[in-house]
Chain A
């Protein structure tokens, strides 16, 4: 697709959307903490608590230094989230919200998905704490496992549309809710949404940062400014993932209200699953991911090609 606005103006708008996504991600996190609190019979924190936590981490003095990759890892993490957001239409039909989509951006986005995690692995490995490499080895082995169903679902969607452009994929689903790929190709949708739970590292796939085993996994040594940058990166990344899944399977959106509702639904799918299931061990989660979602994904691709 062609850019509707001058490139500089579009860049300014996109920078604004990155900050909006940061705030939206933090508020989503706050709403989740409130809801989980209510489920457990507590009052729960105020919904702006993640914003306060982020600012608090910024106002602490950084006291550790472990080398250059340790510094760069939060930046890599943030770039991974921002990169996905920048090359994806947020609301279709509103020129300022369409960002820098181009043909083949689905492939680019799949690279950005793993860029942040690999940079994070390099940086956390330099932290020197033994829990960091344990978390990293768990996270990376789980990542290779959920990559497969996720990639298969993407292939199914791209094959059905005949295009790797997200804008084209969204346009192909504009007929009504029956045209959404979640209902057009439910097998690919199921595989992708199971992979999303693993991607968000919610239960049952949350052994990476399992609080009762390895304190917080890869980010054990991160503090103060590093941690605040990492929290920002993660919340942008979360929102970007929600937008991607909305665009691929829920038909995108043409209104701001639709954007809020659909991203909320995508995010809360992982929370609902996480509230019900206990935690897998690493080999259990890999065995599960390579068995059921992968088979469902292959069936989804076969359904398109048949």
Chain B
């Protein structure tokens, strides 16, 4: 818990291992006042970058709940997500989309946080199924996270129990449009409100047992 690795640039953890007095160093994200002045070149470059990012999404191959079964047909000949540039990536280092597929138990939430924080920025998250919005059919479960939004920022929700693969494709296309407009900034909000998110996560995860921030 009190692991301090000084060669990691982003988060400095307080000596007691908690995040109460943690500091996030600059370079990790850009706050509103740190944004460079909008030059015409920057604007054009940002548009190109966003177009490129939107057209090459790598989903981390990690199914959290039953919704993961709906991800598999997307790779097959009937739906073929590769035609719009979406592929599956096996490690979190090489992926930039996390799909919270269905219900999320507290035990799984811990792993999802680890995977999400290890992904290089910018990164996006998709909530698949009603369970990620309000708990769905697990609304009275003792061990299931009801609103994933309290613990991780979600950029797109795809409602349904289960949503069909067509709905997933529509959701991913919506995510791509959002990235192109430059509005999918959940990763930035996560870092700006890291204290709130971490406090919420620590409320439900009783056996923390991992670094305060995983890189």
Decide if the interface of chain A is mainly helix, strand, loop or mixed.
loop
Q: List 6 A-B contacts (CB under 8 A).
A: A41-B77, A42-B83, A46-B85, A56-B96, A59-B52, A65-B8
Tell whether A64 is near chain B: CB-to-CB under 8 Å.
yes
Q: Mark B117-136, 1 if CB is under 8 A from A, else 0.
A: 01011100000000000000
Partner of B83, one of A44, A59, A216: A44
Nearest first, the 6 A-B pairs at minimum CB distance are A215-B90, A41-B77, A56-B56, A223-B93, A42-B80, A43-B83
Q: Are A43 and B120 in contact (CB under 8 A)?
A: no
Partner of B94, one of A37, A43, A62, A227: A227
Given contacts A215-B91, A220-B91, contact A43 B80 (CB under 8 A): yes
Q: Are A64 and B90 in contact (CB under 8 A)?
A: no
Interface centre among A40, A59, A227 (most CB of B within 10 A): A59
Q: Are B120 and A45 in contact (CB under 8 A)?
A: no
Residues 77-112 of B at the A interface (beta carbon under 8 Å): 77, 80, 82-83, 85, 90-91, 93-94, 96
Q: Which chain B residue shows the least CB distance to A225?
A: B120
Size category of the B interface is: 20 to 34
Given contacts A215-B91, A223-B93, contact A45 B215 (CB under 8 A): no
Tell whether A176 is near chain B: CB-to-CB under 8 Å.
no
B101 to chain A, nearest CB (A): 19
Partner of B56, one of A43, A44, A52: A52
Size category of the A interface is: 20 to 34
Tell whether A180 is near chain B: CB-to-CB under 8 Å.
no
Given contacts A42-B77, A60-B120, A63-B121, contact A216 B94 (CB under 8 A): yes
Residues 5-47 of B at the A interface (beta carbon under 8 Å): 7-10
Question: Bound state CA distance, A215 and B61, in angstroms?
Answer: 10
Q: Are A53 and B56 in contact (CB under 8 A)?
A: yes
Given contacts A40-B77, A43-B83, A65-B8, contact A216 B56 (CB under 8 A): no
Partner of A222, one of B8, B94, B121: B94
Cβ contacts under 8 Å, B215 to chain A: 63-64
Q: Which chain A residue shows the least CB distance to B57?
A: A56
Q: Which chain A residue shows the least CB distance to B7?
A: A65
Tell whether B53 is near chain A: CB-to-CB under 8 Å.
yes
Question: Bound state CA distance, A215 and B96, in angstroms?
Answer: 16
Cβ contacts under 8 Å, A220 to chain B: 91, 93
Q: Are A60 and B122 in contact (CB under 8 A)?
A: yes
Partner of B82, one of A44, A52, A60, A223: A44
A57 to chain B, nearest CB (A): 8
Cβ contacts under 8 Å, A126 to chain B: none
